[in-house]
Amino acid sequence: MNAIEVLGLKKSYGAVHAVQGIDLTIKTGEIFALLGPNGAGKTTTVEILEGFRTRDAGDVRVLGCDPHAQGSSAREWRNRIGIVLQSTSDSGDLTVIETIEHFSGYYSRPRNVDEVINSVGLDEKADSLIRTLSGGQRRRLDVALGIIGNPELLFLDEPTTGFDPEARRAFWTLIRKLRGDGTTILLTTHYLDEAEALADRVAVINEGKILALSTPTELGGRSTAKALVTWRDGAETKSETTDNPTSVVNALATQFKGEIPELTVTRPSLEDIYLRMIGIAHE
Amino acid sequence: MNKIPSALSLGIRRGGLEIKQFSRQRESVVFTLLFPVILLIIFGSVFKDTIAPNVTFSQYFVAGMIASGLVNTGFQALAITIPLERDFGALKRLRGTPMPASSYFIGKAILVSVSMIIQILMLLGFGALFFGVDMPTDINKWITFTWLTLLGSACSTALGIAFSIVPKSGRGASAVVTPIVIILQFFSGVFSIFTQLPTWMQQFAALFPLKWLTQGMRSVFLPDSFASQEVAKSWENGKTFLILILWLVIGVFFSVRKFKWDRD
C-alpha cells in the first residue's frame, strides 16, 4: 500500500511549465524528502498533493483519494492528513494551548493536547499569547497544529527554517518518533543535512522534472564515488582522489612512520551531489 | 472510530474563538463598538432640533446608527479582517484541516451578531438616558426590529465575506472598504434627513441594503405619523424584507462560490 501515487503530473501557469510530467510513489511509513531550488516545481507539486491546487494532467492518489475531491469525502480525507505550510502566522491574540485545543476539535481522533505541546517543546509557552513567541517557537506551533489530528500522512514544507541547531535536533527526534508511530512524512527542505538525517528516500526536482530518486547515501552514485584523501607534507597540503582510500592511507602511514599530519578522507556530501545535479558550480 | 464533528458544532466553536480573539484586540473593540455611540453623542449634541412633531433628530439618528451599525460590524469589519487573515496564511491553514468553509462562515456570523447586540444595547441605552430617545411600546414594532436585525446581520455578514475577495491585500482592504461604507451612509440618510437629499442620491442609495435597513429602523423608532414624510409616503417594510433577502442570496452565492483562502 502506497501513501502517495503520482503518474504523469503536469501543471502550467500560462507559458510557465511548472511541473512537466512527474512520477512519484511514496510508501506508507517512510520519510520522503523532496529537494530542489526555488522555482523548481517543488511547491506546486506538494500543493497539488495537498489539494490546494488543481492539475492540468496526470493521476494523483493521496491515501487512495484524489486530493481535488470536493464535499464531505474531502473532510474525511483531510481528517487523515496533516499539513505544515511554509509561512503561516496568526494575529497572535490566542495562547498556544487555546489554539492547539481549538484545532484538535476539528478532527475525529486527535492526539492529546498536552502531549503534543510537550513533543514540540512548548510546555513553558503553553499559556503565552502567540504574539509573544519567537520565530522558532511559532514554527514549532505550526508543527504542533500539523500533527494534532494524528495524521496518517504529514506534509512538512521547510519545517526547520529559523531553528537554532539544538531546536533542529529536537525536531528531528520528533519526526523520527512520528515515523515510529507509523506516520508517512513528505518533507521539503533546503537543508541537505536535514534530508540526510531524516529521509529514507530523496528526490531531486528541477525545472519541473525529477532528476534523481534514491536513498540519501546512494543519490547520484554517491556511495560509489571516489574518495578524496588529503594530508600535509611539510609546508604543502597534498591530496589524492582514489577508489581505494584505505591503501592510500596505508601507504602514507608507512611513509610517515605512524601519524599522518592533518589526514582527512572524504566522499562527496549530499550537498555536493545535489549542487552538481542542479547545475551549480561548486567549489 | 469517532466521527468528524458536524459543520454546525465546529461553527459554534469557531464563533467562540472569534469572540475571544476579537475581545483581545482592544483597538478594534473600541472602534467597532464605541464609535457609533461617540457619533450619537456628537450628532445628538449638535442637532437639538425637532424634525417633526414628537421626533427629535436624535430619535431619527438612533434609527440610522443602528442600521449602519449592522453594516459596520458585518460588511465593513469582515471585508477588512478577512483579507488580513488571508495575508497571514491563517485561512490557508484552516483550509488544510477538516473544518468546512460553512463552519468558518458560521463563526463569523456569530461574531457579527454578538458585537451587534452589544452595539444596539449601548446605542439604545445612551440614547434613552442622555438624548431622550423613546423606546417603542408596540409589540409589533419590536417584532419588526427583531427580523430587521436578524436579516440585516445575515445580509451584512454574507456581503462582507463575499466582498473580502475584492481587496488585493490586507493592508489595502480598509482603503477600499471604508469609503464605500461612508458614502452609503451619507446617501442612505444616516447622517441627515433622507428626504432632504437630492433625488439621484436617494435613487442610488435605494439599490443597496443600507437605505432599506435605515428606513426599516425608522419604522421601529419613529411614530407612525412620520411614515407620510418618507419618499413613498409609507414605511415599505414588505419591500425592505424582499430587498434584504435578495442581497442575502447574492452575498451567500458569492461567499460560497468565490471565497479565496489563499493569496494567489
Distance from CA of B2 to the nearest CA of A (A): 5
Contact A91 B93 (CB under 8 A): no
Is the pLDDT score of A56 beyond 60?
yes
Q: How far apart are CA B157 and CA B163, in angstroms?
A: 10
Q: Are B220 and B145 in contact (CB under 8 A)?
A: yes
Q: Which residue, among B105, B263, B169, has the nearest Cα to A53 in the 3D structure?
A: B263
Looking at beta carbons, which residues of chain B come within 8 Å of A105? 5, 10, 13
> Residue B2: pLDDT band by 50, 70, 90 thresholds?
low
What number is the average pLDDT over the span A103-127? 93
Q: Quick check: A75 contacting B, CB < 8 Å?
A: yes
**Residue B131 · residue B58 · CB < 8 Å:** yes
Query: From CA B123, how far away is CA A263, in angstroms rounded?
Result: 83
d(CA B242, CA A271): 67
Mean pLDDT to the nearest integer, B237-250 = 95
Q: Which of B1, B4, B10 would best serve as a mutation to test chain A binding (most A beta carbons within 10 A)?
A: B4
Longest dimension (CA), chain B: 68
DSSP code at position B135: P
**Minimal Cα–Cα distance from A78 to chain B, Å?**
5
> In the predicted model, is pLDDT for residue A281 greater than 60?
no
Beta carbons within 10 angstroms of residue A233's beta carbon: 13
**A79:B4 CB<8 A:** yes
Give, for A34, the enclosing helix (H) or strand (E).
strand A31-35
pLDDT (0 to 100) of residue A27: 95
pTM: 0.87
State mean pLDDT over A264-272. 85
Q: Is B93 on the interface with A (CB under 8 A)?
A: yes
Average pLDDT of span A46-66: 93
CA distance B114 to chain A (A): 19
Q: Which of A76, A88, A108 sits opposite B2 (nearest CB)?
A: A108
Cα separation, A132 vs A18, whole angstroms? 38
Tell me if B2 and A109 make a contact (CB, 8 A cut-off). yes
Residue A93 has pLDDT above 70, yes or no: yes
Task: Quote the cell numbers at residue A7.
Answer: 503518474
| Chain A residue with Cα closest to B26 | A93
**For position A280, what pLDDT does the model report?**
62
Strand order in the sheet with A227-233: A236-242, A227-233, A264-266
Which of B10, B24, B98 comes nearest A79 by C-beta? Answer: B98
Sequence-distant (6+) residues with CB within 8 A of B206 are B212
Contact criterion met (CB < 8 Å) for B17 and A94: yes
**CB–CB of A144/A120 below 8 Å?**
yes
pLDDT band at B79 (very low <50, low <70, confident <90, very high): very high
Query: Which residue type does B75 have?
Result: F
Confidence category of residue B105, pLDDT binned at 50, 70, 90: very high
pLDDT at A62 over 50: yes
- Facing residue for B20 by CB, picked from A78, A94, A103: A94
- C-beta separation of B154 from B248 below 8 A: yes
Listed in sequence order, the residues at least 6 apart from B53 whose beta carbon sits closer than 8 Å to its beta carbon are: B225
pLDDT of B30 > 90? The answer is: no
Cell numbers at residue B64, please? Answer: 440610522
Q: How close does chain B come to A177, measured CA to CA in Å?
A: 22
Instruction: Among B93, B104, B257, B260, pick the best mutation site for testing chain A contact (most A Cβ within 10 A).
Output: B93
Chain A hits for B1, CB-CB cut-off 8 Å, are 108-109
What angle (nearest 5°) sits at the alpha carbon of residue A15, between those of residues A14 and A16?
95
Nearest Cα residue in chain A from B103: A106
Q: How far B111 CA lies from chain A's nearest CA (Å)?
A: 15
Cell of A21: 510530467
Give tens-digit pLDDT for B130-173. 888 888 889 999 999 999 999 999 999 999 999 999 998 888 89
C-beta atoms of B89 and A79 within 8 A? no
Q: How confident is the model at residue B223 (pLDDT cuts 50, 70, 90)?
A: confident
Distance CA A240, CA B100 (A): 62
| pLDDT recorded at residue A47 | 93
Domain ranges of chain B: 7-258
Residue B186: exposed, middle, or buried by beta-carbon count in 10 A (0-12, 13-18, 19+)? Answer: middle
Q: Do A107 and B95 touch (CB under 8 A)?
A: no
Asked if the model's pLDDT at residue B246 lies above 70, the reply is yes
**Nearest in space to A31 (alpha carbons), one of A155, A205, A208:** A155
Instruction: State residue B97's pLDDT score.
Output: 94
| CB-CB neighbours of A230 under 10 Å | 15
Flag if B96 and A78 touch (Cβ within 8 Å): yes
Q: Which residue has the higher pLDDT, B29 or A59?
A: A59
Residue A162's contacts (CB-CB under 8 Å, 6 or more residues apart) are: A135, A136, A139
- Whether residues B4 and A102 touch (CB distance < 8 A) is answered with no
The single-letter code of the amino acid at B32 is T
A2-13 and A16-27 beta bridge pairing: antiparallel
C-alpha A11/C-alpha A102 separation (Å) is: 35
Distance CA B18, CA B24 (A): 10
Whether B97 sits inside 8 A of A52 (CB atoms) is no
The CB-side HSE value for B206 (13 A sphere, CA atoms) comes to: 14
B84 reaches A (C-beta below 8 A) = yes
pLDDT, mean of residues B104-112: 95
Statement: residue A200 has pLDDT above 80: yes
pLDDT of amino acid A282:
41
pLDDT at A283: 40
Q: Which residue bears the cell 469609503?
A: B179
- The answer to whether B254 touches B165, Cβ cutoff 8 Å, is yes
As a whole number of angstroms, the distance between CA A35 and CA A22 comes to 14
